[in-house]
Structure 1
Amino acid sequence: MPILPIEKYFGEFQLVYTFYEAMPTGVTVSETGRIFVCFPKWGDDVKFTVAEIVGDQLRPYPNLEANLANPENIANSFISVQSVVADGRGTLWVLDTGAPNFSVPIKGGAKLVAVDLKNNKLRKVYNFTEDVILPTTYINDVRFDFRVGKAGYAYITDSSSKGPGAIIVVDLENENAFRRLNGANSTSPDPYFLPKVEGQILMNRNKDGSTSPFRMASDGIAISPDGKLLFFCPLTSRHLFSIPTEALRDRTIPEMDLLYHVKYWGEKGASDGMITDAKGNIYAGDYENNSIRKILPNGTMKTIIHDPRILWPDTFSISPDQYLYVIVNQLHRQARFHYGKDLRQKPYSLLRMKIGEFPAPTFL
C-alpha cells in the first residue's frame, strides 16, 4: 500500500496548562506575567468561574467567595464569566454575562468588574441599564482605551443568538453605557454562512432530534495600538470589520449614519477570539481550519499555525514576554451540537506560541 500525501500542518506551540474539569473560554496575561482564565456556566460543574493559574494549580480568583453567585449580593459576586482582560496597568477586568446557559441575564447580573491586582480585591463594578442589557443580550468580550475621556472607555461585544448584536460602549468615568451598531449587518450573524468544523456542518442539534442553524452575533474584538480603530467580527461569519472608536463614542452620529463609518476588511476565516499587538497586527483564530491567522495593518493575511490539535481556538492574549496565548476548548463538540451527546475529550488546553511582539498598549 503506497503512502499517500496528507494535509500539511505547520507552526509550533507550547502546552501551558491542561484542564480536566470545566471548559474554559477566556485567558489573559498581566503585565507581571500572571495568568487568569474563566469558565462560563454552560452546563459543566463550574466550581469557580474565574481562576488564576499558579504553578500547576487553579485557584479561584480573587477568592472563592467572589465566585459563589449570591442572589443577595449580585453586584459583588460572579455569576457566569465569559471573558477576563488584564489591562497592563494593574487591573483585571472581569466580564460577567449574568446569563448561565445563555439564559435571560439575571437582573443586575451582567456587569463589568475591575479587580485590583495589587491587593486582589474588587475595586469597582459597572452595572448596565435595561436599554443596554436586553433580554437577549450575551456580553462576550471587551477591549479598553484609557487615553480618551477622564477614565477611559470600554468596548463590549453583544454576541446574542436570539436578538440584535451590538458594540456596547462604556464611559469608565461616569459608568454611562450605550449600544452602537445595534442589529447592524456588521454585528449580526452572516445569514449565508454555513460553519464546517472537523469536516461536519456545525448546527444546533437537540436531544429531541430537532435542528436549527447555529447563529451568534458580534464576538471577536480587538483595538488598534493607538486606540483609534476597533476591529470586530460576528462568531458565525468569516468577515472582519472595523470602525473608528471616535465615531462609536459620538452619540450625535445617528445609527443609520454610523453604518457608513464601518470598514470591511474581507474574509479572515471564522473566528472566536482576536487580539492586536503593539505594531497593529491582528491575531485571529480560524475554528473551521484549526488555525491562527495574522492580519497585517495593510490587510495582508497569513496563517501562522495550522495544527489538528487546535480544536476551536477561543480567546487570545499577548504576554509581556511576547507569547501569544490561546484557549483551545473543543466548543463545537458540546452536547448542544450533537443531539445531547457530549463529544469533548479532556483535557482542554492553554497553548502559547512565540510571536516576538508586545501587546498593544491601552494607555500613554
Structure 2
Amino acid sequence: MTVLDTRALNRATLARQLLLEHADVPVLDAVAHLCGLQAQEPQEPFVGLWSRLRAFDPAVLSDLLIRRNVVRTHLMRRTVHLLAADDVLAWRARHDAMLRQRVLGTYRRELDGVDLDELAAAGRAVMADNEPRSMAELARALADRWPAPGPRALGEMLIAALIPMVQQPPRGLWRTRGGVRNVPLSSWLGREIDPPSPNGSDPVGEALVRRYLAAFGPAASADLRAWSGLAGLPAAVAAIREELVSFRDERGRELLDLPDAPRPDPDTPAPVRFLPAFDNALLGYHDRGRIIDDAHRNLSVAGARVVLVDGRVSATWTVEAGTVMVTPLRLFSRADRTAVAEQGQALASFLSDDDSDRVRIVTSAG
C-alpha cells in the first residue's frame, strides 16, 4: 500500500481546500464543496473564501444569506457553520442524535429528568409563529414549565439540538453587526428537512463520506469523525469501500480517498494563505500534523487566525487599529517575509473600509 508522507498529505489538503491556487468557481459552489465553513465568528467565512476564490466579492455571500441559498446553523461538532441550504436539509436529521448528546455532555445534570421530546414539542409550539427569537427569549418562554435546568441549558438544548434553526440575517452579513435571532430552518427555507433513512440504510452517511473525502481527503476514519462529530459512520464507510482507494500515512494509519481526487506532487509550490479563526482546513482532522506542528496544535482550537507558508501554519495574524499584524511562529526567510507582506497587504485592502493605502503590514521576528 502506498505511503503518503506529511508533505504529500499537505499538498492534497491544500488542493481539496482550494488553497493551492485561487479557484474560479461560484461562491455557492465553493461553500458546498467545502462542506460548509465554520462560522461562530460571523465575519470569518468572508476571509476564508477570500483566501480561496479568485476575485471574491463579499457582497455575493451576503446576498446568498439574504436569499436563503446559504444559512448559518448548528451542525458538525455542534458548532455554527455556514452551509448551502440543500446540504443542511439533507444532512440535519443525520446529525440529530449527535447534537443531543453533545449538549447533554455539557448540561446532563441540569437536564436530568427532562423529557427532551416533550421539551422539543413545547419549543416548536412557541416558535410556530415564525418570529425570530434569541436563545434566551425562547428559554424564558418555557422557564415556568421547566424552571430547574436554567435558561442556558434549556436554550442550548432547544437551539443547538432539538429544533433545527437558522440564525437570521443581518447576523453573518459582511461588515454588519447583528445579534443571534433564530428562526425554524424549515420555515426559513420553505422546505422540510429530509427524513431519516428507513430500514437501517444510510445513504446520507455514505454521501457525507464522499463529500468529506472530496474536500479533505485522503483521510482516516478518525479524521472523518473529528470533522463531523458523528460516531456512526463506519457502516457508511464500509458500504462504499469498494469505490475508494487506500493509502497509509507515515504512522501506519489507513487513509481512504476518492480514486480521481487530486493528489498533487509533493513538490508543488504552495502560496502564502491567510486563514480565519476556526478554519476547517485545520479542524477537519483528528491528526492535524499535515498542516500544523504539534507544538502549535492548540492554536487551531483557540480561535487563532493563522498564516500558511509553504502550506503549513507558520504565523498568526490579527488586525489592530487597521493594521494587519503578523507574528511568525518560526524564522522567516527574506522570500517568506516578502510573500507574507504582499499577501497581508492584499488582505488589509480587502478588510479596509476604503480604498486608501493606509493599512500596513507589521511582522515581528518569532
**Greater C-alpha Rg:** 2
* Bigger fraction of residues in helix: 2
Q: Higher RCO, 1 or 2 (CA under 8 Å, sep at least 6)?
A: 2
* Bigger fraction of residues in strand: 1
Q: Same fold (TM over 0.5)?
A: no
